[in-house]
Amino acid sequence: MGGLSAERDVSLRTGRGVADALRERGHDVVEIAFGPDTAGVDELVRAARIDVAFLALHGRGGEDGCVQGLLELLGIPYTGSNVLSSALAMDKVKAKEMFRLHNVPTPPYYAVSEDEASDLEELHGSFGFPAIVKPRSEGSSVGLTKATNFAELERGVTAALRLDPCALVERFIAGHEIHVGLLDGRVLGAIEVVPKSGFYDYASKYTAGATEYILPPRLPSTRVHGVMKLAERAARALGCAGPCRVDLLVTEGENEYVLEVNTLPGMTPTSLLPKIAAHAGIDYGSLCEAILAGAKLHAGLEKKAATSTRVPRHSAVYVADAESDADLLRAVGE
Ligand SMILES: Nc1ncnc2c1ncn2[C@@H]1O[C@H](COP(=O)(O)OP(=O)(O)O)[C@@H](O)[C@H]1O
Ligand SMILES: [Mg+2]
């Protein structure tokens, strides 16, 4: 928990919530909080001598595959998605490319790198307004702006580029905001999010009473069913495992758009995924235990290590020394 990203504080709350719930259920929990002022996460994880890691990190360095990769190498099973899915989901541009490949509707967009920012007018062309500007790889609405004209767009891009080398400009979609909770590829339920300010920014997400949460969403049940199926497809397109939350916008008309998949969704006792699970009859402690039960290693490094010990060491030396194909064939005894 904790970590180095802009979502550090939320992560600490997620971590403490999960740790308390698991302790209450008799698990032996060590809280590993790392950050800019602590020892490195690798050192802390080794020192804690854990059997399994319940990941409570959000944002870059924690939700994006980095810590997942470390745990694969250390051979410690961990909760949630693997390295690749975590990295894809954290990168909003790559996630949208995957959505398009898998026929998952997502708002039209373009990306602006630091080098391209001076050509913004040309890049934006006839894209139109309002538009949403966000950093490519942030969460919790950090660095997100709604632009209704070019001056606002420029300010938004500058703000996003302060946080990330690449900004994403997306068509603004007016509609119901629905978040779907999933566990191991199966939908737990959906919740409608109605920020009182009209904008689901950082304050609306984390200030008590700033947002109304409606469960089930105010949509016909057939439509909610369709939205859930779409969320399932979005998570599958990225290959997600364990808990995840898919954020969608649903218009008054026929359209549904996937904004993003969160592979390490907020897990404080009052976060959306626990709210959705509670509505489905799964209390917070049971949800934490169900997530813990799904912890695993994905990269198959242990299996490969076991196989390679059976291969005679010297064969690798012959292959490395082989000057030509003929040498190589002699070396392997053909
Ligand atoms: N294209 C869009 N149209 C309308 N609102 C948007 C759009 N993109 C984002 N938002 C609003 O901003 C919030 C955060 O955007 P999101 O893409 O989910 O990033 P984050 O990772 O910061 O949660 C959304 O929950 C939604 O309220
Ligand atoms: Mg979101």
What lies within 8 Å, CB to CB, of 176 at 6+ separation is 192, 217, 218, 219, 249, 250, 251
Which residue reads 């070396």 in tokens? 331
What lies within 8 Å, CB to CB, of 228 at 6+ separation is 180, 187, 190
Distances (CA, A) of 124 to 50, 134, 157: 50, 15, 11
Q: Domains of the chain (ranges plus CATH)?
A: 8-89 (3.40.50.20), 108-171 (3.30.1490.20), 176-293 (3.30.470.20)
**Residue 266 among the catalytic residues:** yes
**Residue 143 among the catalytic residues:** no
Please report the atom of ligand 1 found closest to the CA of residue 171: 1
Displacement of CA 134 from its chain's centroid (Å): 15
Mutate to test the pocket of ligand 1, among 194, 247, 271 (most ligand atoms within 8 A of CB): 247
Nearest alpha-carbon partner for 263 in 64, 41, 6, 18 = 64
E-assigned strand segments in 141-250: 145-147, 166-171, 176-183, 186-195, 211-214, 243-250
**Residue 114 among the catalytic residues:** no
**Residue 201 among the catalytic residues:** no
Task: Pick the catalytic residue from 109, 206, 213, 318.
Answer: 206
Displacement of CA 44 from its chain's centroid (Å): 23
**Tens digits of pLDDT across the chain (334 residues):** 999 998 999 999 999 999 999 999 999 999 999 999 999 999 999 999 999 999 999 999 999 999 999 999 999 999 999 999 999 999 999 999 999 999 999 999 999 999 999 999 999 999 999 999 999 998 888 999 999 999 999 999 999 999 999 999 999 999 999 999 999 999 999 999 999 998 899 999 989 899 999 999 999 999 999 999 999 999 999 999 999 999 999 999 989 999 999 999 999 999 999 999 999 999 999 999 999 999 999 999 986 665 554 444 443 434 444 455 555 555 544 4
Could you tell me if 127 and 120 are in contact, meaning their C-beta atoms sit under 8 angstroms apart? no
pTM listed for this prediction = 0.91
Mutate to test the pocket of ligand 1, among 64, 88, 96, 132 (most ligand atoms within 8 A of CB): 132
Could you tell me if 53 and 45 are in contact, meaning their C-beta atoms sit under 8 angstroms apart? yes
